[in-house]
Structure formats: structure tokens, C-alpha cells
């Protein structure tokens, strides 16, 4: 039906999955979509859920960082081995490889304020290809983007190569102006969440979004 619309996770809770299986699943989705997959990731926010899934909530982000590093090896090497604290495997072949090279973009989805948001920015620089914050105003996003630029400079990463996808943008005005404000703040994409899970309302909601925002 389309060759341009992208497919993404918003977000996949990485430590709740086996990294080898998850690497194969993501690579398959990217291959089937001809490189149009965006891998939005998180580590979870609900301690009870992490416990049910066998994840130490206090260590969920160290696990996530290691899992992503292991998955990148599986995506980019013909035979990959990994020896970490949370995941270990000998030299294995993992196919299919992603369509997009070297792999689908990994967007760090974490927004909570203070130290947690700073951690998200550091993770974006360390393991990510972009950042996917939630419900930040253009003013707050612009401030955080400046922090991200500084961290990139310190780490020798090119800030201009990162992708910022703003989930659930804060709407305070006419759509064209809001879009311009987010663009000026550093956002490359605005990602909207439909209001109701009821399937019979999806077409109306998507039509309304398209008419308001695709200018």
C-alpha cells in the first residue's frame, strides 16, 4: 500500500526480550520494509512489570545498553561473538541482516526529568542514533538539544547525524506554527498518538491528523 511510510516501535522494552531473538525480529522487519524500520527503545518504567519479566529494575538500563551493543554485532558481523555481564554467546551467524546499513536507527525513548533525562541523553550519545522524547514543549526540547550537542562534541559524535523524533508533541497553537517551533528546536519528526484504541475510530483520527498537520 505504501513505499514511504516508516514503521517503528514506540517503544520496545529491550531488557524484557532475548537479544538474539530480538535482533532477528528487528532485522526481519527492516528487510521486509526495505529499510523503513525505526527501532525506538526503552527499558521500562514499572518495577512490577520488570519483575514479572525477570528483569532487575535497578539494572534495566545497563542491561539495555549491553543488549543493544550485542545486537549491533549480530546485525553487522557475519559471525558475531559477545561476552558481557548480561549476555554471552560464542561466534554465531544471525540472519537475516537488516536492509538498512549498518542497521536500523536506534532511538532512545526516555523523557523523565532531571537525572533520568540526562541519562537518556548520555545513552543517545553512547548507543543511539537518535532520541525519542515524550511530550516536551518546543522550549524544553531546544534546551535539551543544546545539552545533547555538547555531549556529542565531548564524545566526538556528529550531532547532525542524530535523529530526534518528538512523541506526543505539546500542541499550543496553530499546527503550522507548532511544527515550525519544533523544527527550530531540533525535532526531525512529530509522532502523534491516536486518542482511542477502538479500530472504528482510527480512519477518522488519522484523517483529522493528516488534514491538520500535513501541510
Q: pTM for the whole thing?
A: 0.91
Residue 20 resides in a domain = yes
Judge whether 27 lies within some domain.
yes
201 vs 198: CA distance, rounded Å: 6
Rounded-to-integer distance, Cα 22 and Cα 29, Å: 11
Which 3 state secondary structure label does DSSP give 27? Answer: helix
Per-residue pLDDT of the chain in tens (215 residues, 90 and over written 9):
788 889 999 999 999 999 999 999 999 999 999 999 999 999 999 999 999 999 999 999 999 999 999 999 999 999 999 999 999 999 999 999 999 999 999 999 977 667 778 899 999 999 999 999 999 999 999 999 999 999 999 999 999 999 999 999 998 889 989 999 999 999 999 998 887 778 888 888 888 888 888 76
Q: Is residue 211 part of a domain?
A: no
Strand order in the sheet with 7-13: 7-13, 37-42, 106-108, 130-131, 163-167, 189-191
What does the pLDDT read at residue 110? 79
Question: Rg (Cα) of the chain, in Å, rounded?
Answer: 18
Q: What is residue 79's three-state secondary structure?
A: coil
> Is 79 a domain residue?
yes
The pLDDT value recorded for residue 66 is 98
DSSP tag of 168: S
Q: Is there a domain that residue 63 lies in? A: yes
In a domain, 99, yes or no: yes
Pairing of strands 88-92, 80-83: antiparallel
Domain ranges, residue 40: 1-104
Domain assignment of residue 131, yes or no: no
If you search the block for the grid coordinates 550537542, which residue do you land on?
Answer: 149
pLDDT at residue 62, rounded to an integer: 97
* Counted domains in the chain: 1
Tell how strand 7-13 and strand 37-42 pair up.
parallel
In-domain check, residue 73: yes
Amino acid at each position: 500500500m505504501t513505499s514511504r511510510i516508516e514503521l517503528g516501535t514506540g517503544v520496545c522494552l529491550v531488557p524484557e526480550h532475548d537479544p538474539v531473538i530480538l535482533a532477528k525480529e528487528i532485522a526481519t522487519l527492516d528487510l521486509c520494509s526495505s529499510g523503513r524500520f525505526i527501532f525506538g527503545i526503552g527499558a521500562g518504567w514499572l518495577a512490577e512489570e520488570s519483575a514479572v519479566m525477570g528483569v532487575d529494575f535497578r539494572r534495566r538500563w545497563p542491561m539495555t545498553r549491553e543488549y543493544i551493543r550485542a545486537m549491533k554485532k549480530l546485525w553487522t558481523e557475519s559471525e558475531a561473538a559477545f561476552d558481557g555481564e548480561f549476555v554471552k554467546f560464542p561466534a554465531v551467524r544471525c540472519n537475516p541482516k537488516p536492509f538498512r546499513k549498518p542497521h536500523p536507527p536506534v532511538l532512545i525513548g526516555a523523557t523523565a526529568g532531571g537525572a533520568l533525562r540526562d541519562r537518556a541523553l548520555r545513552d543517545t550519545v553512547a548507543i543511539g542514533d537518535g532520541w525519542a522524547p515524550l511530550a516536551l514543549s518546543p522550549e524544553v526540547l531546544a534546551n535539551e538539544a543544546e545539552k545533547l550537542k555538547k555531549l556529542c562534541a565531548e564524545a566526538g559524535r556528529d550531532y547532525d547525524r542524530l535523529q530526534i523524533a518528538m512523541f506526543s508533541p505539546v500542541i499550543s497553537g496553530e499546527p503550522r506554527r507548532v511544527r515550525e517551533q519544533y523544527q527550530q528546536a531540533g525535532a526531525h519528526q512529530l509522532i502523534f498518538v491516536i486518542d482511542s484504541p477502538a479500530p472504528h475510530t482510527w480512519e477518522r483520527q488519522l484523517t483529522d491528523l493528516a488534514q491538520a498537520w500535513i501541510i
